[in-house]
Amino acid sequence: MNLDIGIMVSKLGSGMLTSFWIFCFTLLLSIPLGLVIAFGRMSHNAVLRTITKAYISIMRGTPLMLQLMLVYFGPFYIFHVSISPGYRYTAVCIGFVLNYAAYFAEIYRSGIESMPVGQYEAAKVLGYSKAQTFFYIILPQVVKRILPTITNEVITLIKDTSLAFVIGVTEMFTNAKALASGMSSVMPYLGAGIFYYVFNFVVAFVMEKLEKKLNYYR
Amino acid sequence: MKKSFAGILILGSVMLALTGCGKESTDSSSSGPADKNTFTVGFDQDFPPMGFMDEDGEFTGFDLELAAETAKRMGLTIKYQPVSWDSKDMELKSGTIDCIWNGFTMNGRENAYAWSRPYMENDQVFVVRKGSEISALSDLSGKTVEVQADSSAEAALKDKQELTASFGQYQTVPDYLTALMDLESGAADAIAMDNVVASYQIKTTKKDFVILDDPITAEEYGIGFAKDNTKLRDEVQKALDDIAADGTAKKISEKWFGKDITTIEKEQGEN
């Protein structure tokens, strides 16, 4: 059996598309959700703070693979709700968003808490409300500070999509494995590596541009 | 900056609404295996020649072809669902797949599923490099032996404590390809696996492997359904009997193995 490069690329490409969608949904939903969790984590309300702290602790303390299985099989095995085959895609999105939001929350917190108290005091003197202070003064600076860390997470995310097959979602690495075993060749793995690398190269490039663009005070 | 961030927030919540609610509603409408007209076959996609991805990037294999023919005769649309082999039971019980049809060994799992009648015989065997000093089970002493996680070879070896205790190293790997690569590279000295799969691998890849004459166990392949789903099991069995009776099963077997190695009709004779 000889490996046809064209077919390999198209198969990996279609898998990459699945990976890409997981990537997009996760980022779009977990970035705002992470901010909400970060607020909870820094809240003066002890109950809220404890809950979010426990949430972050569990999400970071258990493997994403386990969380995906729990989100997918949990409804049936815990609540006895029958799950439809299409649910696996929803489950992947939910699992990734919940997990990544926890990490993003801590990144936001590190950024927000690094801001000097003097800025809040100055804003208060100038008559800014709490919300105004946060959205006009604090957040724009926080975003600049945390961007390199965010880039780290984003790059990890695309590689983590390979975990989706644990609940039967055929993303790129699954296709690479299938091609490899069907043809008894390691070429598809090499191809998969190139796909991941190129994608992450683009991500890193875009993030670097963004960092430069936000660097307007220096 | 703040505008684009607010944009992301809004877009995010809109997406949440769309994906969350949209998918939830379709889920509830299509739940339950009873009202659908598809036949979803769960299989390990890294398992040639029973179910795998061919050089055209399509799912194919002996079992999948047989399953497709069965579905056709039952008037159902076939759906191939590759599953993570470790999660196959959870997939089956939760109803996301209708059956496991994938060189699925019945022996040792008799009570775990509603089984079809066996359709093929298989041995669990050891594969070694050609020209290696291993020619019998006793030669495996002190060697590195690999087996696929949760496979029937692993189950068969569980009953052979004495043999596994003699291995130098007994290693579990996620799939056969990894094991075969290890065997070729020298990281492993022998692999325990299905004879049907091993023979096909050796034939198609022309690698210098040989199968030891002494099998670990003899066993049979069947189609596994959820325990409470005997209705579907019986329907599939009926279609399968038809396929065997008119010679289609023989044709599919000859295509994949060069000869008819199915046992559907023989089983029928015995009953």
pLDDT at site B3 = 44
Cross-chain residue pair A31–B11, CB shorter than 8 Å: no
pLDDT for the residue B71: 95
A39 in contact with B at a CB cutoff of 8 Å? Answer: no
pLDDT at B9: 44
| pLDDT attached to residue B16 | 44
Q: pLDDT-derived band of residue A2, with 50, 70 and 90 as boundaries? A: low
Nearest to B177 among A69, A83, A180 (CB): A180
- Interchain proximity B204–A2, CB inside 8 Å: no
- CB-count exposure of residue B14 (10 Å: 0-12, 13-18, 19+): exposed
pTM of the model: 0.77
What residues in A contact B13, CB-CB < 8 Å?
32
What is the pLDDT, as a whole number, of residue A144? 92
ipTM beyond cut 0.90: no
Q: Does A108 contact B at CB distance below 8 Å?
A: no
User: Domains in chain B and their CATH numbers?
Assistant: 36-121+220-270 (3.40.190.10), 123-218 (3.40.190.10)
User: How many residues would you count in chain A?
Assistant: 218
Residue A76 to residue B83, Cβ atoms within 8 A: no
Read off the pLDDT of residues B5-32 as tens digits, 9 standing for 90 and up.
444 444 444 444 444 433 333 333 333 4
What tens digit of pLDDT does each residue of B81-112 get?
A: 999 888 899 899 888 999 999 999 998 889 99
Mean pLDDT, range A110-123, rounded to an integer = 94
Q: Which domains does chain A have, with CATH numbers?
A: 5-213 (1.10.3720.10)
How confident is the model over A47-57, as a mean pLDDT? 96
Is pLDDT at B42 greater than 60 in this prediction? yes
Predicted local distance difference test score (pLDDT) of residue B259: 85
Q: Report percent pLDDT > 90 for chain B.
A: 51
Note the pLDDT of residue A78.
86
Mean pLDDT of A79-97: 88
Q: Is A178 within 8 Å of B53 when comparing Cβ atoms? A: yes
Q: How confident is the model at residue B26, as a pLDDT?
A: 36
Distance from CA of B154 to the nearest CA of A (A): 20
Q: Please give the residue of chain A at the shortest CA–CA distance from B56.
A: A7
Mean pLDDT across A70-92: 86
Q: What is the pLDDT of residues B228-252, one digit of tens each?
A: 999 999 999 999 999 999 999 999 9
User: Among B32, B79, B180, whose Cβ lies nearest the Cβ of A82?
Assistant: B32
Contact criterion met (CB below 8 Å) for B188 and B182: yes
Give residue-wise pLDDT tens across range B118-153. Answer: 999 999 999 999 988 899 999 999 999 999 887 889
Q: Is B205 close to A184, i.e. CB distance below 8 A? A: yes
- Average pLDDT, integer, range B62-67: 94
CB contact (8 A) between residue A84 and residue B2: no
